[in-house]
Structure 1
């Protein structure tokens, strides 16, 4: 019996359709990604950016009203420069303006993002120009570290964790030993996810410290921050891989291509369209960006939302992995590689047996 046809396959309608499909899919993907990236990052403008203002009430009120009129700023009046500084360090305000006898001073937090800082500097400069006041020097109350002068490290770290997590999740989900799904296998899978998160955190901490990123922050807090982000990403991807197979790992690509862009790492949520800002806040990349930034530069800020976001992704993802395995091997799903065939672990005698038949007979 001939298993392979000696006659070469001809290029027919089927292959032309396949070729056209690949071209169309590639072009559509390029169009959608291009539209997305330019839509969110081409010309970002503030949307209800929370800022503070301090100064003589007679001067503060008209300036605050003017700033709020266009919907770009959400202005809060503070009683003193110290109160404004405290609000910025707690991330209740992205920055602010201080009205003095010598002109309007921009009070910024460089570590909170270049866009809010640049916007406030522009507002102060325009106000001084209108009032014929001398230009003032901005006051940066939370500056970026010299080792991370452009603030891009946060985004790079998120991309590394996202890409590594998608690869690890696919491997853990599809290369598990060919055994019946059980509580033991589920616990082993969850333990592997936790172990990977700890190793991932150590690696991120190691290469970031080489370049001085986080040198002034609490090392222990940073380690657990990276570990939680990694577990949230790998756990959520693993849960989907468990349910849908390798296609679930595409979630990692979504985190990498879309999630990192709308995470707030480079473009703050107050500069994104509302839909993308809302989605970005509730992705593990968004929660991760907020937690990393706070750990690095804003220890007084609240982490409640970020911890809730990351905890849900990590908890639900690992719970899916555990419950799926407890339910039993209902569809005889097995690993991509027959690990048992490579390394027999059952029985004391090395006799031949048909593993595929056994797998098919499992309930």
Structure 2
């Protein structure tokens, strides 16, 4: 048996096998923590919500919310219902609580299922308080009548009491920006964020491994992003009806998000070599994706990670796609700039990496000079 065959057949040391198992378990733990931690620690807090109505009623709601830590809503006073509706359409507010003779709670289920559920719970609590107040008032009136009859006096009823004309106010819940009928719970839109990130990573890895040359990779990057955006929107909007709004704008937003992720992987791989693929994948999958705010609003995540996640490609892409699809009046300049910045970063890293590689391959001038002929040996 040759030395090479003997080395190949030599069993692995026990210590190395145990170390490999421990390191593998640690890696799995890190991955699980990265995905579970945001969801496990997420809670309703500081959601921008409008409020209007009598000062006494508004103060009562504010005092009730102040008792909770953290406060689920960051209340902002609105002048009218129209102002609240416009702020919701521009994604400045997740909803509004309108108090008065006709109480109403405005929600936007397209902004997220969790905020809509929290505001529906507020509507239920308001209705319970109204019913309790009315029942207490009726009980007090009956008590006064009984006491007056027992003392042989004429019962003194408050104005309007017993006329039957008074009605118990009903809290109305109005969905200002509802979800598409093809995705009534929003589960499809929330679940689509992970495939978008995975598709961008896959495109970047394939371009790195199968395409040679900086210019060719960049051309492939542009073609891949445009085609991926069109195919994804074709599936999500045309086929399943998850998205709404302008088809081409949705495709452009999706394509830019995929391109941003792919460009980062291509650029880092060009700069660092094969290890760059792993580094870019770790940053994208284990850091940026869990704090992207795709499934839950960024306010639900522990501070400041929700805001930080919006500066990465997955967070900006998720926010942009939801806005252009359901909130055409919302400002999206920041998301377009963030995604474009990641694309530019990937292009710069690609060019720098390929130039450095080319410089290392080109032989030095001293190596190109012909060597002096050695004397012939007699």
TM-score range, shorter chain: 0.7 to 0.9
The equivalent of 2:179 in structure 1 is 144
Highest relative contact order (Cα 8 Å, sep 6+), 1 or 2?
1
Residue 230 (structure 2) pairs with residue 202 (structure 1):
yes
The equivalent of 2:303 in structure 1 is 274
Does structure 2 retain, via aligned residues, the 8 Å contact 1:217–1:295? yes
Q: 1:303-314, aligned counterparts within 5 Å?
A: 303-314=332-343
Give the TM-score of the pair, scaled to structure 1. Answer: 0.81
Distance across 2 between alignment mates of 1:90 and 1:65 = 28
Residue 204 (structure 2) pairs with residue 169 (structure 1):
yes
- Secondary structure of 1:329's counterpart equals helix
Does structure 1 retain, via aligned residues, the 8 Å contact 2:271–2:352? no
Q: 1:176-215, aligned counterparts within 5 Å?
A: 176-177=211-212, 185-208=213-236, 209-214=238-243
Distance across 1 between alignment mates of 2:283 and 2:186 = 23
Residue 118 (structure 2) pairs with residue 116 (structure 1):
no
How has the CA–CA distance of structure 1 residues 23 and 42 changed in structure 2, closer, same or farther, with 3 Å as cutoff? same
CA shift at 1:68, angstroms?
5.1
The equivalent of 1:342 in structure 2 is none
The equivalent of 1:10 in structure 2 is 10
Does structure 1 retain, via aligned residues, the 8 Å contact 2:52–2:58? yes
Correspondence for 2:352 among 323, 328, 353: 323
- Secondary structure of 1:147's counterpart equals coil
Does structure 1 retain, via aligned residues, the 8 Å contact 2:214–2:354? yes
CA shift at 1:47, angstroms?
2.6
The equivalent of 2:316 in structure 1 is 287
- Secondary structure of 2:97's counterpart equals strand
How has the CA–CA distance of structure 1 residues 7 and 193 changed in structure 2, closer, same or farther, with 3 Å as cutoff? closer
- Secondary structure of 2:304's counterpart equals helix
How has the CA–CA distance of structure 1 residues 174 and 35 changed in structure 2, closer, same or farther, with 3 Å as cutoff? closer
Q: 1:227-242, aligned counterparts within 5 Å?
A: 227-242=255-270
How has the CA–CA distance of structure 1 residues 297 and 19 changed in structure 2, closer, same or farther, with 3 Å as cutoff? same
Equivalenced residues, count: 326
How has the CA–CA distance of structure 1 residues 39 and 327 changed in structure 2, closer, same or farther, with 3 Å as cutoff? closer
- Secondary structure of 1:100's counterpart equals coil
Runs of 5+ consecutive residues of structure 1 not aligned to the other structure: 178-184, 334-356
Does structure 2 retain, via aligned residues, the 8 Å contact 1:51–1:93? yes
Distance across 2 between alignment mates of 1:50 and 1:11 = 62
How has the CA–CA distance of structure 1 residues 299 and 25 changed in structure 2, closer, same or farther, with 3 Å as cutoff? same
Does structure 1 retain, via aligned residues, the 8 Å contact 2:189–2:242? no
Give the TM-score of the pair, scaled to structure 2. Answer: 0.78
Correspondence for 1:25 among 5, 23, 26: 23
Distance across 1 between alignment mates of 2:170 and 2:181 = 26
Runs of 4 or more consecutive aligned structure 1 residues displaced over 4 Å after TM superposition: none
Does structure 1 retain, via aligned residues, the 8 Å contact 2:88–2:94? yes
Does structure 1 retain, via aligned residues, the 8 Å contact 2:51–2:77? yes
CA shift at 1:135, angstroms?
6.0
Runs of 5+ consecutive residues of structure 2 not aligned to the other structure: 134-168, 369-378
Does structure 1 retain, via aligned residues, the 8 Å contact 2:52–2:99? yes
Q: Determine which structure has more spread, i.e. the larger CA radius of gyration.
A: 2
Distance across 2 between alignment mates of 1:50 and 1:124 = 16
The equivalent of 1:51 in structure 2 is 49
For residues 39-86 of structure 1, the C-alpha deviation after alignment (integer angstroms, 9 at most, x for no partner) is: 321253223211101223342244235435644322111111111011
For residues 177-211 of structure 1, the C-alpha deviation after alignment (integer angstroms, 9 at most, x for no partner) is: 4xxxxxxx322221111111011112112221211
The equivalent of 1:252 in structure 2 is 281
How has the CA–CA distance of structure 1 residues 68 and 7 changed in structure 2, closer, same or farther, with 3 Å as cutoff? closer
Distance across 2 between alignment mates of 1:2 and 1:330 = 41
How has the CA–CA distance of structure 1 residues 12 and 314 changed in structure 2, closer, same or farther, with 3 Å as cutoff? closer
